[in-house]
Amino acid sequence: MLQVAGIDTFYGESQILRGASLKVQAGQVVALLGRNGMGKTTLVRSIMGLTPPRNGKVIFEGKEISHLPAHRIALAGLALVPQGRQIFPSLTVRENVVFGMRGKGFSEDTIYRYFPVLKMRADHRGNQLSGGEQQMLAIARALLSNPRLVLMDEPSEGLAPIIIHAIGDIILQLKAEGLSILLVEQNVPLALRVADYVYLLHNGRVAHECTKEELVGNARLQAEYMGVSKYGEG
């Protein structure tokens, strides 16, 4: 479904991504892991056209999208759940939800079945929500564009463990319904719980790729590329 092939991305003259490559198959959850500052968010921004790569290609469903503007990439069937949520604080939950609604599949009613708390808060403004509710709203807003691939950038950031577990449940439910997801995460247990395949990013390059089972059983990879000791699937 998605192929990132040898992209180089710069901020000004500073090179962040150095020949980064990965793939997402239809119906997969693919996790992109690595320490802070390794280029994970830049890779997501490159895919979405927010920081276009200078070299290499991004191919979605057989068509190159590397140099399309961001709105054209979104219309092609990709959606972003950005780091930091970036909801509209002065709009109500309902207004945030329907802002980018298009296509068939996910509707306001189906979104509220995924996120019943948002229905209860429908008339609250975005800045009146808790961090967990804001994250659910950011995911809901992305789903209502009815994408075929969702990019989630650090959806667990700053959330309590019980909310992180709920986000994991939602990702697993979306995967079961056939949605493809590229998940950028610092929370390794969450990533290993939901992912089918894992890429480890180091200094702007994909240093290793493997199944989640291989990563769970490899303490060296965990220590070298994530700075952790040893995780189970959680």
**Domain of 105: which CATH number?**
3.40.50.300
Residue 5: its pLDDT value, please? 97
In a domain, 97, yes or no: yes
Residue 186: its pLDDT value, please? 84
More confident site: 188 or 3: 3
Checking if the pLDDT of 234 tops 50, the result is: no
Do 92 and 128 belong to one domain? yes
For residue 36, how many other CB atoms are within 10 A of its CB? 8
Do 11 and 62 belong to one domain? yes
Chain segment 79-113, per-residue pLDDT in tens: 999 988 888 899 999 998 887 788 787 888 888 88
In a domain, 198, yes or no: no
Do 64 and 81 belong to one domain? no
Residue 218: its pLDDT value, please? 81
* Rounded CA separation 151/79 (Å): 6
Percent with pLDDT over 70 in the chain: 97
More confident site: 222 or 48: 48
**Domain of 139, in residue numbers:** 77-178
Q: Are residues 139 and 128 in contact, defined by beta-carbon separation less than 8 angstroms?
A: no
In a domain, 209, yes or no: no
pLDDT mean across residues, the chain: 90
Number of domains in the chain: 2
- What 3 state SS string does the chain have? CEEEEEEEEEECCEEEEEEEEEEECCCCEEEEECCCCCCHHHHHHHHCCCCCCCEEEEEECCEECCCCCHHHHHHHCEEEECCCCCCCCCCEHHHHHHCCCCCCCCCHHHHHHHCHHHHHCCCCEHHHCCHHHHHHHHHHHHHCCCCCEEEEECCCCCCCHHHHHHHHHHHHHHHHCCCEEEEECCCHHHHHHHCCEEEEEECCEEEEEEEHHHHHCCHHHHHHHHCCCCCCCC
Do 60 and 139 belong to one domain? no
Q: What is the pTM of this model?
A: 0.91
Give the mean pLDDT of 194-212.
93
For residue 6, how many other CB atoms are within 10 A of its CB? 13
Residue 9: its pLDDT value, please? 96
Nearest to 187 by CA among 144, 148, 223, 158: 158
Do 134 and 109 belong to one domain? yes
Residue 228: its pLDDT value, please? 60
Chain segment 108-147, per-residue pLDDT in tens: 888 888 899 999 999 999 899 999 999 999 999 999 999 9
* Rounded CA separation 128/141 (Å): 17
Do 114 and 59 belong to one domain? no
* 38 Cβ neighbours under 8 A, 6+ residues apart: 201, 202, 203, 204
Do 112 and 63 belong to one domain? no
Q: Are residues 1 and 197 in contact, defined by beta-carbon separation less than 8 angstroms?
A: no
Do 82 and 58 belong to one domain? no
